[in-house]
Structure 1
Amino acid sequence: MADQSSSPSKKERFANAALNAYIGATGLLPVRQRLSLTGWLVRHVAAHALGWYDRVDENLNFVWPELTEERKKAIASKSIDNLARALIENYDPEEMLQRGANYPLSGPGVPILKEARENRRPVLLITGHYGSPICARAALVARGYTVAGLLRPMSNAPMNARYIRNYRDVGEPVFEQGRRGTMGLIKHVREGGMAAMAFDVFESSGAMIDFLGQPAPTATSPADIALKTGALLIPYFGIRREDRYGFDAVIEEPVPHTDPVTMMTEVTKRLEARIEADPGQWMWTHRRWKPKRMAKRRAKAMKQT
């Protein structure tokens, strides 16, 4: 989490300056060229330096060991390209809103979402790091929806400041993850608002829910919030098209209110279906399972029993 109480280090300031220089230079390019260049540079330079290909390979070997090496390389390349594009898209909010207005909003949840807005019924939109969630949010905002966002702050404070500002330029309100931010989001939703959040990150204290065939610690807080506020819990996805620029914002049917683990199991299944249809759109660079840590957790649980 970003530490706002201390001054940025030289390393943080340098990284922020380098990023701003890159954004400024590539901002002179047409957006399609900017996205393609960023994807190429990250795939061929940054991803190797950061060890992303090794991480993708580890994750794929863990959940889909039967894949051929050729197939794993293709998924890794597409996944890293998608991540690069999603990162750079955040730095042009105006363009994202324009694109959001030009591409369709579809899915069985669209009329439900429209009715909820008209009746000011609380809605919590839930997604994963798949395709471009921020473009999907922009598609809703471009159509007049007020969709709050809950963001995990970056560790680099100067980068985080711009990241948050860009997200707010797409649409307010925006809350930073943490007690204050979560309480603000709950208040917004309880009063009849809509909010969007992602759930598919490693949550050490979360419930163990199978994800792509392997147990993964999963936060149940989105379902908790939906149950406390009476909000509809609606999965949504920003699915990239083959040209890697266009996208479809898909709104699915709400997840029935039952109990938090059952609800998040259903949300997980919805994301699994998207990943199985096009695995290259998911963020395989994330340490979603952390097998070694999970092995220690299971061993500790066995000792306690």
Structure 2
Amino acid sequence: MLGLAQLPFAILYAVADGFYVLLNYVIRYREKVVLENLRNSFPEKSALEIQQIRKDFYRHFSQVLVETLKLAAMTDAELRRRVVIRNPELLSGPFAEGRTVLALGSHAGNWEWILPSGALEFPGRAYGVYKPLSNSFFEDFLYRLRTRSGAKLIPMRDTLRDLIRRRGEGRAMSMLTDQAAGPEDRPYWTTFLNQETSFYTSADRLAAQFNCPVVYVNIQRVKRGYYDLIIEPLHDGTTPLDKEAFVLTEAFARHLEKSVQAAPAAYLWTHRRWKHKR
């Protein structure tokens, strides 16, 4: 894989075009799941429009695959040039006060470029919560990609312990919180993309307990290989929170819904986001 990552972007995007043909026309990767998700999320769209979003999604997904692979060989300077961080002061301000900021993101745009880019902008302050993979090869490969710029990874089960241990350190804790929350996760239910949807509620609980500022992180494709990483405020960390009101989770759902509606092909439609029922 490292040899492939050494190739110029122009050649890698030609490889991505091949991936697109394979995913869209040959193996039809999770096509049933993708179409069901799109039809339920956009009932107002015609069958032709749904098929166009499906094709655009496979093309975007193919490009994200090679862009993620490219992390193994990309220089810091090139990554800085390709990802522009908007509103960084929403993080640097709390960092100066020794506060942990919860950065809530999703599987949209190129989510694998978020943490390495943040680590370059804020050296020593970028942490990511993740769920370790069972496949040791991919676990090791993705771990090295995600930490290539100096970011630190925190296994999901250690999140609370880490916050206690590092209380008073100015840093960002990145969390991708758009996966399907099961009954055991004490989910918050709300309407999202025209469907009853379960969300993880850890942001509300942790922000209430540790007085964390909370931001929404949205990485938008500007053009092929270039992104804006936009930081938006959700909570300033000073107003008292009722952890059972789930105002942060609801705010995250509304921000994410707006992002997906603006660029539907850039969302990860292959995962079974709505597999749980209330």
TM-score, normalised to structure 1's length? Answer: 0.78
**Matched-pair contact (CA < 8 Å) for 2:116–2:151:** no
Partner of 2:158: 180
- Distance, in Å, in 2 between the alignment partners of 1:155 and 1:218 is 23
**Matched-pair contact (CA < 8 Å) for 1:39–1:80:** no
Match of 1:45 among 22, 29, 34: 22
Structure 1 unaligned regions, length at least 5: 1-22, 299-305
- Distance, in Å, in 2 between the alignment partners of 1:246 and 1:284 is 21
Match of 2:253 among 268, 275, 278: 268
Match of 1:253 among 229, 233, 255: 233
**Matched-pair contact (CA < 8 Å) for 1:255–1:263:** yes
Q: Does 1:29 align with 2:7?
A: yes
Return the letter of the residue paired with 1:216.
Answer: T
The equivalences for 1:216-235 within 5 A come to 216-235=197-216
Structure 2 unaligned regions, length at least 5: none
Report SS of the residue matched to 1:155.
coil
**Matched-pair contact (CA < 8 Å) for 1:136–1:248:** no
Q: Percent identity?
A: 20
Return the letter of the residue paired with 2:140.
Answer: A
Return the letter of the residue paired with 1:173.
Answer: K
- Distance, in Å, in 1 between the alignment partners of 2:164 and 2:19 is 36
Q: Does 1:284 align with 2:261?
A: no
Partner of 1:15: none
TM-score, normalised to structure 2's length? Answer: 0.85
1:79 Cα offset (Å): 2.1
Match of 1:239 among 217, 220, 223: 220
Partner of 1:113: 91
**Matched-pair contact (CA < 8 Å) for 1:90–1:167:** no
Q: Does 1:199 align with 2:184?
A: no
1:249 Cα offset (Å): 1.0
1:149 Cα offset (Å): 0.8
Higher helix share: 1
Q: Does 1:66 align with 2:44?
A: yes
- Distance, in Å, in 2 between the alignment partners of 1:204 and 1:127 is 19
1:100/1:227 CA distance change after superposition, 3 Å: farther
Higher strand share: 2
Once the two structures are superposed, residues 115-136 of structure 1 have per-residue CA deviations (whole angstroms, 9 ceiling, x without a partner) of 1122222101111111013323
Q: List 4+ stretches of structure 1 deviating above 4 A.
A: none
RMSD over aligned CA atoms reads: 2.3
